[in-house]
Amino acid sequence: MCVLLSFTSDICCRFLSLTSTQARKPYFYFENVRTMPNGSWDIISNSLYGIQPEFVCASHFSVSRRARGYIHNLPLENRQLILPIPPKTIREFLPATVQYTPAWDTRQQLNCINTCGNTASFCRNVQRLMAAGEPSEEAKKTIMSLVRRWNLVWTGPGTCSPLEAHEIEQALGYERGHTRGAITINERFKSLGNTFQVDVVGFHLSALRPLFPDGIRMLSLFSGIGGAEVALHRAGIKLKFVVSVESNVDNRRILERWWSTSGQTGQHRILDDVQDLTMAVVARLMEESGGFDLVIGGSPCNNLTGNNRSSRTGLGGEHSVLFFEFSRILNLVRSLTR
């Protein structure tokens, strides 16, 4: 808990001094990768009323490291960890791997969750290097480079495997089987790679619980598999009226299934394209809902992430340019909020 308090205290002074423009309702919350091309976070900050990002690594909350930036005008008081508190070490998270883990694999946590499904060749390389008995120091370095990079875990003597989909779900704060509605395993992995880390987001959003005892009305942009919806639910905040906007049909199917099986009693609308949210559409949705209390989203990071070596073109990229739709829609909601 002391780690959480330490990084929280570092940002208190920034958020306690929000200007009236920055603090103006509705609440909003934007997430994306921490490491972007130079100047990208400055552009995002300037587009979101000059609020500076709060950078958080998921290692404080879960078994995996995942550094993200969050720009928001949420209150800082009354933040709480959402329950149950997840395991934070590989030993706790995957106890069955302990008996097979070499003493020289000293990892305590997983790397940032990587959802690449083509790891069979890396597993074979590790098995080959382990086949002749105790590997050389040079071979150990090669093995550790592979298992760290691809989050390989030990599943037998000298044998390692990638994380299963249900293990990634749990590492990201979802219930086992959350993404089972995806058509293919590759789509399932892709959906998980583009989602929120629920434990982090739930910690931030938990500050809203005392403010909305009767439930919250939310506009969720780039909803994916429902990270914002699940985080609010797990934080104990009733979903009173939610509009989820998501272009991927598999993700919409997953979100619809979760809504129907998780005991939700509020109203839910699903739209498929943020670019269709014109002034008229937003006004109609706000009239239907009674106004939005929260606008939330994490636009595509394809052209921003350091893992992308071919088209890391920044906010002008084909996918990541959609951030400006978040800013546009938030401004529309603010202009229509009484």
pLDDT (tens digit per residue) in 69-78: 999 999 999 9
Residue 253's pLDDT band, with cuts at 50, 70 and 90, is: very high
Residue 126's pLDDT band, with cuts at 50, 70 and 90, is: very high
Q: Which of 5-9, 78-82, 208-212 has the lowest mean pLDDT?
A: 5-9
Residue 140 above 90 pLDDT?
yes
Q: Specify burial of residue 330 (Cβ count, 10 A radius: 0-12, 13-18, 19+).
A: buried
- DSSP 3-state of 252: helix
Q: Is residue 2 among the annotated active site residues?
A: no
Closest CA to 209 of 70, 77, 47, 306: 77
Which one is the CATH code of 2-85+173-336: 3.30.70.1230, 3.30.70.1450, 3.40.50.150, 3.40.50.2300?
Answer: 3.40.50.150
Residue 162 above 70 pLDDT?
yes
pLDDT tens figures, 286-316: 999 999 999 999 987 766 655 655 556 777 7
Q: Are 250 and 191 in contact (CB under 8 A)?
A: yes
Q: Which residue has the higher pLDDT, 245 or 181?
A: 245
For residue 83, CA distances in Å to 100, 174, 200, 336 come to 30, 12, 12, 36
CATH 3.40.50.150 positions along the chain are 2-85+173-336
Maximum mean pLDDT: which of 189-193, 290-294, 315-319 = 290-294
Q: What is the CA angle 91-94-100, rounded to 5?
A: 75
Catalytic residue among 57, 112, 160, 301: 301
What is the structure's pLDDT at 9? 43
Beta sheet of 27-33, edge-to-edge order: 54-57, 67-72, 27-33, 294-297, 216-221, 239-245, 267-271
Maximum mean pLDDT: which of 5-9, 53-57, 132-136 = 53-57
Q: Which of 176-180, 225-229, 306-310 has the lowest mean pLDDT?
A: 306-310
The pair of three-digit structure tokens given for residue 99, joined into one six-digit string: 């008996």
Render the burial of 155-189: b for 16+ CB within 10 Å, e for the rest: eeebebebbebbbbbbbbbbeeebbebbeeeebbb
Residue 280 above 90 pLDDT?
yes
pLDDT tens figures, 76-123: 999 999 999 999 999 999 999 999 999 999 999 999 887 665 788 999
C-beta neighbour count of 247 within 10 angstroms? 16
Query: pTM for the complete prediction?
Result: 0.91
The pair of three-digit structure tokens given for residue 69, joined into one six-digit string: 């930036």
Q: Which of 129-133, 165-169, 235-239 has the lowest mean pLDDT?
A: 129-133
The pair of three-digit structure tokens given for residue 48, joined into one six-digit string: 């979101």
